[in-house]
Structure formats: structure tokens, C-alpha cells
Amino acid sequence: MRRTAYTVIGIVILAVMLFPVYWMVNASLQPSGNTLTAGFLPLHPTFTGYKRALDEQGGNLVTSMIIAAGTVVLSLAIATPCAYALSQFRSRWVSIGLLAILISQMIPGIVIANALYTAYERIGLLNSIPGLIVANCSSGIPFAILILRSFMMSLPPSLVEAARVDGAGLFRAFVAIVLPISKNSLITAGLFSFLFSWSDFLFALTLTTKGGVRPVTLGIYQYLGTQVQNWNAVMATAVLSAIPAIVLLVVAQKYIAAGAIGGAVK
Amino acid sequence: MVALTRTTVAGRERVRGRRRRGEDLTKLLFVLPAAVAMVALFGYPVVKNLLMSLQDYTLKTFFTGAAPWVGLQNYSTVVHDKLFADAMLNTALFTVGSIAFQFVIGLGLALFFRNRFPLGGLLRSLLLLPWLLPLIVSSATWRSILEQDSGILNRTLMGLHIVDDPVPWLNSPSVALIAVIGVNIWIGIPFNVTLLYSGLSEIPDELYEAGQLDGATGWRAFVHITWPNLRSVAGVVLMLGVVYTIKVLDIILGLTGGGPANATQTLATQSYEKSFVDFKFGQGAALSNILIAISFVFAIFYLRSTRRAVDE
């Protein structure tokens, strides 16, 4: 009886916390207009908001997708060997490396944006997808190292040693043994890198100066910039941009808390 | 393994010696790409910002390449700016207000979810959604909820006769900061719940069982058992909160853009405006260095309290 009461209270808490998310979906299904006259339920849902969102922001969604995928590949390629080294090699450099990662978390994105803007301006990476991928790795790499390392700490050294006795080099043992066994943590790290990059707004805002490359977060910001003309299109774009987060939560539920905790050890 | 049993002991030693030297190189290669990336993405920007803050680095610099050294002039300009004191105060209010409420609400929810009940685990993981949404999506959603004339919050408050006139949540200098802090609290609660919940899970049940025999239940159990055992995790959560909150930019830009009448300007938004709106990169860099310096003071506490967690 008491346990049921707890469940009811839990559902109420969740309903309050997720109300804005519900409201985003509700508002996205309303007819177009610059006022928000939506009732509590979308009794007459229309998809005109989504049609407009896809027309105006479809390309930006694709841009965001490419940038996020690129960030995942580059972040994991760089972070995975390093995470392995920090978990298995015995050296005083390990604690120095970890300290560097801790300190990196204190550096505001605007500092990175300032420096990258001047550098990109010189080497022609402003308004480019590779430029944004590299910038987004600043959130992907440290996080991926921490998550992967916390998993790899639990790998018994005997696992790799067995392969080494067979004559495999360190690198081959890493690829053949460590990578396959770390699949779950690689997925977790990859999903988070994707999400960080997908959510990025600061680099999109500062490292693009003209319309060519425009991630969807910037598209939403520009919708909000002027007087909002069509709330349903804005909210439909918001819903579409929220899909990766929702998919992540459903598909990788158990990894997310682990990721949040692993990342907090930062 | 079969191949190795056939080699002699001496041969094995030779192979091992050669391998060790090659191996040091291989080990270096494991770390090298990450080291280069960290230097390029964090080391370089910090050094570059320090240099830029001592230069007259403006839009002109991109055309002429000239960025004359001006000593500490940028710092003195930004500190004497009439907005600086406001930005400092707003940064402090934003950080303290956000963290205090995120932590207290987060701790309350974490304690609640420690009760075992049907669907508890599922509800707790769904609670993470606000933290996972892109910040600009949350900003857009809250803009629509807080909209003065037709937003659902004002319509509800007026419908319930709690207020007579619509509250200008984001349009009035006197309430905008409160509204922005409120949204940031909403975003930060899931993170606090998750970390505090995992801290609570690590407190052994036996402690509570023993406490129960001594009459420590409810509030007394919290004061004498839960809080002392949660202190180190709480320290980590609070310091992380400060380090992350003090540099928040996306939410404020999305909700108010620092307005109305600069009521929600913080050091981070000011730094952004100096660099990327006014194109005074030297001044923007000076402001962001002040931001780093403040965060560094907190980080000293932070590193002290997380050292244990890292070693673990």
C-alpha cells in the first residue's frame, strides 16, 4: 500500500519535472501563429509546424548530424587509446594526465571559442564542418577518456598478457582484445560525444559568420532572435532537436546514469 | 602459446629486451594524439587568451595583423565598465541561487527515490531528460512557457487568480534574473539527483540498522548517518556545480540575451559580447580570464574533494 503511494508520488514528481517537455510537444502540434493559445491537450493536432520546420531547418538538422557523427569518430579515436593507457600503464604521468583533464573542465567554452576563432580565421576553418567537429571534440574527448578509463580500470591485466604471450604486440592486443570487450563503454562514450556535439550552441554561434554551415541549434536561436512569428515551427524544430536525447534515454538508459557518474569524477 | 614453448629461454629474453624498447614508443603513441588534442583545445586557448588580454586585439587585427601590446589596459577598461559590478553580482546570484536550489531539491528527490517502490528505477532515469536536452531547446521551450501574454504559466496563474496581471518573466529587469535562475535550476536537478543518489546507495544498510537500535530514525538518521557519509559526495557535487554554473552562457543567451536592460548579464555573457558582438577580443579575453581565475579559486577546494574519487 505504502509502496503504491510512493509510486504515485514519484509519477507526480516526474510529471512536474517533465511538464516543459510535454509542453514543447503540445505546442509543436498547434496551428501556426505568433501567439501561444494552446490548450492543455492537442485536441486538433496539425503537422504544419513540422512541415515548416523540415522545410526551413531540414538542412540544418543534416549539418548537425554530420558534425555530431564526426565528433564521435574523432573523439573516440583519440580518447580510447589514451583511456587505456591511463587505466593500465603504470607511470607518474597518469596522475598528471588526469589532473590536466580535471583542469580542462574549468575552462569556459568562450575561452576556447575566442582562441579558435582567431586561429580558424587564419587557416580558413571558419564556417566549416571540420572546424566545428574539432571544436566539439573539446567536450567529447575529456568525457570519453574519463568514461572509458573508469571501465578499463576493471579489466584484468592478465587478459592482455595472455595475448602478449602469444606474440601479439601491444597495439594488436589492444585492438583484438581490449576494444571488443569495451564495446558497451565505447557505446556510452560515443552516445555522449554525439549528444554534446549535437547540443553545441556556443561554437556554432561563434565559429560561423555566414549562413553556409548552420547547425540546428543556431537555427533555433535565430528563430528566437526576432519576434517569434510561428511558435509551432519553433517548437517542432525543438522537438526534432530533442529526439537524440530521447533516443539516448530510451536505448541506453542504464549507461546514462553510469555516464553521468563517470563524467562527474572529472 | 605453442610457438613460444619451443623457443629457448635465452631467445625469449632477447625478444623481450628488444620488445621493451619498441614498447615504450608504442605506449607513447597511445597517449600522443590525446595529449596533442588537449594542448590544442585547452592549453593553446588559455595561453592565447592570456596574450590577447594584453593586446589591443580587435577586428582590425584580422586585416592588418597588428595587435599592439597594451599591458593591463584591457583589464582596467573592463573592470571600470559600468556593467562590470552588475555582471559580477549577477554571476554570483545566478551561481549561488542555481546551486542552492538544485542541490536541496536534488537531495530531496534522491532521498525519495531511495525508497524501493514499483517503477522507481524507471521514473528516476526518465528524470534525466531535462539534463540531456540541448540547452537551446530548453531555452526555446521555456521562452514559450514564460511568454508574457500567452505563455501557459501566466495563463495558469491568472486562471487560478494567483496574479491579476501577467508577470513579465523575461521582459522586466526586476524578475528576469529570477526566471533565468529558475530555468537553470530545472536543468540542473537531474544531475544532482543522479550523483547524490549514487552517493546514498554507497552508504551501507547496516549503518541504518544499527542506528535504528539506538533510536536513530527519520530526521535523526539523516543528521547522524546519512549526512556525515554523504559529505564527500556532496562536496564534489557542489564544487562541480560551481565550476559548471559560473560559465553558463547558452541558457542566458537563449532566454534573454543578457537583457532586459542588462539585468541578466554575467561575466560569461559580457565576455561573449565583447569578443563576438563588439569584436574587442582583447577585452573579451580579459573578462574570460577573470572568470577562469574565479573558477580556479573554487577548483582548489574542488580538486581537494575529488582527489579521493579520482583515485578510486
Q: Of B26, B34, B41, which is closest to A79 when you measure between CB atoms?
A: B34
ipTM of this complex prediction, to 2 decimal places: 0.90
CB contact under 8 A, B49 and A115: yes
Is A5 contained in some domain?
no
Is A220 contained in some domain?
yes
Is A22 contained in some domain?
no
Disruptive mutation site among A67, A101, A118 for chain B (greatest number of B CBs within 10 Å): A118
From A237, A122, A206, select the one nearest B268 (Cα to Cα): A206
Is A27 contained in some domain?
no
Q: CA nearest A131 in B: which residue?
A: B41
Q: CA nearest A134 in B: which residue?
A: B41
Q: Is the peptide bond before A20 cis (omega within 30 degrees of 0)?
A: no
The whole-number pLDDT of residue B3 equals: 42
Is A142 contained in some domain?
yes
Per-domain boundaries in chain B: 2-52, 73-311
Neighbouring residues of A165: CB distance < 8 A, sequence distance ≥ 6: B1, B4
Q: What are the tens digits of pLDDT across the range B167-182? A: 999 989 999 999 999 9
How far apart CA B214 and CA B176 sit, in angstroms, is 49
Is A113 contained in some domain?
yes
Q: CA nearest A228 in B: which residue?
A: B144
The whole-number pLDDT of residue B17 equals: 57
Q: Of B19, B125, B134, which is closest to A198 when you measure between CB atoms?
A: B134
The whole-number pLDDT of residue B6 equals: 44
How far apart CA B97 and CA B91 sit, in angstroms, is 10
Q: Of B30, B151, B189, which is closest to A82 when you measure between CB atoms?
A: B30
- Whichever domain contains A207, its CATH number is 1.10.3720.10
Chain B contact set for A248 (CB, 8 A)? 132
From A92, A104, A105, A125, select the one nearest A207 (Cα to Cα): A125
CB contact under 8 A, B128 and A249: yes
Q: Of A100, A199, A261, which is closest to B134 when you measure between CB atoms?
A: A199
C-alpha grid cell for residue A77? Answer: 579515436
Is A19 contained in some domain?
no
Domain count for chain A: 1
CB contact under 8 A, B38 and A241: no
Q: What are the tens digits of pLDDT across the range B113-171? A: 998 899 888 898 889 899 999 999 999 999 999 988 888 899 899 989 898 888 999 98
CB contact under 8 A, A78 and B37: yes
DSSP letters for A8-58: HHHHHHHHHHHHHHHHHHHHHTSPS-SS----SS-SS---HHHHHHHHHHH
Q: CA nearest A191 in B: which residue?
A: B132
The whole-number pLDDT of residue A65 equals: 96
Residue type, A118: T
Residue A108 touches chain B, beta carbons under 8 Å? yes
Return per-residue pLDDT of chain B as tens, 312 residues.
Answer: 344 444 455 555 555 555 566 677 888 899 999 999 999 999 999 999 999 999 999 888 888 888 889 989 999 999 999 899 999 999 999 999 999 999 999 999 999 999 889 988 889 888 989 999 999 999 999 999 998 888 889 989 998 989 888 899 998 999 999 999 999 999 999 999 989 998 999 899 888 888 888 888 888 889 889 999 998 889 888 888 888 899 899 999 999 988 899 999 999 999 999 999 999 999 999 999 999 999 888 878 666 655 655 454
Disruptive mutation site among B36, B38, B185, B232 for chain A (greatest number of A CBs within 10 Å): B38
CB contact under 8 A, A17 and B34: no
Q: Of B3, B27, B62, which is closest to A121 when you measure between CB atoms?
A: B62
One of 1.10.3720.10, 1.10.3210.10, 2.40.160.10, 3.20.20.450 is the CATH number of B73-311, namely: 1.10.3720.10
How far apart CA B294 and CA A107 sit, in angstroms, is 11
Disruptive mutation site among B132, B194, B196, B294 for chain A (greatest number of A CBs within 10 Å): B132
Q: How many angstroms separate the CA of residue B136 from the nearest CA in chain A? A: 6
Disruptive mutation site among A91, A107, A175, A216 for chain B (greatest number of B CBs within 10 Å): A107
The whole-number pLDDT of residue B300 equals: 81
The whole-number pLDDT of residue B89 equals: 96
Range of the domain at A148: 57-264
How far apart CA A62 and CA A242 sit, in angstroms, is 14
pLDDT < 50 regions, chain A = 265-266
The whole-number pLDDT of residue B11 equals: 55
Instruction: List the beta bridge partners of residue B58.
Output: B280
Is A42 contained in some domain?
no
DSSP letters for B134-176: -HHHHHHHHHHHH-TTT-HHHHHHHHTTS-SS---TTT-TTTH
CB contact under 8 A, B194 and A261: yes
Instruction: List the beta bridge partners of residue B55.
Output: B69
